Structure 1
Amino acid sequence: MARKSFSEPGTEDPITFAVTERDKSTLQMVREALADGRTMLAYQPVIGSITGEPAFYEGLIRIADDTGRIIPASQFMEVVETQDLGREIDCAALRCGLGALGRTPGLRLSINMSARSIGYPKWMQILKRHLGRDDTIGERVILEISERSAMLVPELVKTFMTDLQDRGITFALDDFGAGQTSFRHLKEFYFDVLKIDGSFVRNCDVDSDNQCILHALISIGQQFDMFTVAGAVETGAEAQFLVESGVDCMQGYYYGAPEIRPDWLPPAHRDGLRGTG
């Protein structure tokens, strides 16, 4: 009997099968974590270049699996981001972040979201509910939208930002330089913060190509009157180059890893696993 070829109808090659099964497992893990409230943020400081102190923190979504193991977003977001689960993850991140802002009056926090969540009723309900509870939250929250996500629906993003500007909300364009933002859209958007993609920061103290790109990206941010943040800073030499290049803030493991229970978080919140607010 002839051996079946993987190209024949009704067959699936082993790699595709393995990826499909892995994705199914990831979706189930995320679905269960959301249902059980096993979501939280890990907080990473964003350091001012001049002050050397945190200008704000970024809240990075995490889930816990059924064994209590903490899972970073990099291990599940790619699988869920185009599905309703992705919108639910954005809702969980927003709920956690706004809850932390409500409990910590001096905190300024950035929260990630996908442009796909714009118009998602549950996400907007969470935002409006927390803004109604505390007038200061709007001025202390930063909503981060990745460049790739923003360019999927640029007109919708612009309308969304216009509608929320009156609430004092700050907007950050994340992973800048890695996507396809046109200068026309950059001019028309209302982003206040430009977060430069970390791939250009790596070895920037010695990599002449990255140095050239960073100077250009920082210059663009300054031209459009945007606050510039360099991500993925891992060494003192990289930090020094960025300071000398005029970047406003830096973020990365050189300054601190994301922490689920930072010292500044209220003890009652720090002691609990669930960060849903």
Structure 2
Amino acid sequence: MSDQTIIASTDDDLIAAAAAERDRTVLDMVREALELDRVMLAYQPVVGSVTGQVAFHEGLIRLRDATGRIIPAGQFIEAVETNELGREIDCAALRLGLAALAGKPDLRLSINMSARSIGYARWTQTLTHGLAHAPSVGERLILEITERSAMQIPELVKAFMADLQDQGITFALDDFGAGQTSFRHLKEFYFDILKIDGNFVRNCDTDPDNQCIVNALITVGQQFDMFIVAEAVETAAEAQFLVAAGADCLQGYYYGAPQVNPAWLKGRSTGMQEAG
């Protein structure tokens, strides 16, 4: 074995060890936050492209660490996605979302979940209890499932959606374009809303490749009679392109950052807006 091979192997081991330690730290933080109920939703508006009015809000799960810092999902969701902590995160998000819907009758809210949480007993119990406590929330609840997650167990997802349709629940296919959706499955799914992945939305006003992809994704959604939302809209130019392309709704920092205490929910004159 050459010296270069030994060095490369040592470097790989160090990187793997560092990654493992980072994941352990993240898991410990998530576990503690769940145990101490340091969980909350941050609400981001989804705005009609023609009306400019809020069509619904997305409730994004947030944790608070021991220092009081609010931790966005992007910093922990990948580490917990495949284990039970990921299922508990989905339960917490659903519980908070259902409580918000029950407390505000004019609220329409989307909540994220992994397809892996389908059949998870506590998640199912949380939904059943929430609908029994306030039956009208089902008609105002949107469940968002990522494309990548849905395509891992498509048959289970289709059965799950069919079972819940009678409750009036709406389903959104999140991050469309980022995964590997089979058009056969897309035709058979019960998704009402298609959310275009933000990687294709960014710079869509100037990037010819993104323009082509966005136009194609919108055409697919329209063909299947799906309501189309463009994510991660950050500039007026992007919004203008998306409106012209046929997006029904727009979501992103251009229209509002996620807020953990929005004035409309708490009846306060100001909301707490996340930084960055």
**Structure 2 residue aligned with 1:60:** 60
Q: How many Å separate the matches in 2 of 1:158 and 1:110?
A: 19
Moved over 6 A (4+): 6-9
Give SS of 2:254's match. Answer: coil
Report the CA distance between 1:8 and its aligned residue. 7.9
User: Residue type matched to 1:72 in 2?
Assistant: P
What does residue range 157-172 of structure 1 map to in structure 2 within 5 Å?
157-172=157-172
For 2:156, what is the secondary structure of its paired residue? helix
The unaligned stretches of length 5 or more in structure 2 are 272-276
Unaligned ranges ≥5, structure 1: 272-277
Residue-by-residue CA offset, 1:142-187 (whole Å, 9 max, x unaligned):
0000000000100000000000000000000000011000100000
**Rounded Cα–Cα distance in structure 2 between residues aligned with 1:193 and 1:239:** 18
Q: Give the Cα separation in 1 of the matches to 2:83 and 2:223.
A: 37
Equivalent-residue separation in structure 2 for 1:257 and 1:12 (angstroms) = 38
Q: CA deviation at 1:246?
A: 0.9
TM-score by length of 1: 0.93
Map 1:190-205 onto structure 2 (within 5 A). 190-205=190-205
Aligned pairs (5 A) from 1:221-260: 221-260=221-260
Aligned-pair CA distance for 1:133: 1.0
Residue 22 to residue 106, structure 1, CA distance change in 2 (3 Å):
same
Q: How do 1:89-128 residues align onto structure 2 when only pairs under 5 Å count?
A: 89-128=89-128
Q: Which has the higher helix share?
A: 2
Q: CA deviation at 1:266?
A: 2.8
**Alignment partners' CA distance in 1, 2:267 and 2:125:** 28
- Give 1:69's aligned residue: 69
- Alignment-derived partner of residue 14 in structure 2: 14
Give how far 1:116 is off. Answer: 0.1
- The alignment covers a number of residue pairs equal to 267
1:240–1:6: structure 2 CA closer, same or farther, 3 Å change rule?
same
SS in 2 for 1:228: strand
Query: Structure 1 residues 254, 82: closer, same or farther in 2, change over 3 A?
Result: same
Cα distance in structure 1, aligned partners of 2:171 and 2:27: 29
Partner of 1:139: 139
2:97 and 2:29 map into 1 onto residues whose CA distance is: 22
Find the aligned partners of 2:135 and 2:78 in 1 and give their Cα distance: 34
Distance 1:8 1:59 in 2: 43
The letter for the 1-side match of 2:136 is: T
Which residue does the alignment assign to 1:274?
A: none
The Cα of 1:267 is off from its aligned counterpart by 4.7
Deviation at 1:12, TM superposition (A): 7.2
SS in structure 2 of the partner of residue 261 of structure 1? coil
CA shift for structure 1 position 206: 1.0
Higher RCO (C-alpha under 8 Å, 6+ residues apart): 1
**Deviates further, 148-157 or 209-218:** 209-218
Q: Distance in 2 between matches of 1:257 and 1:7?
A: 43
Corresponding residue for residue 49 of structure 2: 49
Is the Cα–Cα contact under 8 Å of residues 175 and 195 in structure 1 kept in the other structure?
A: yes
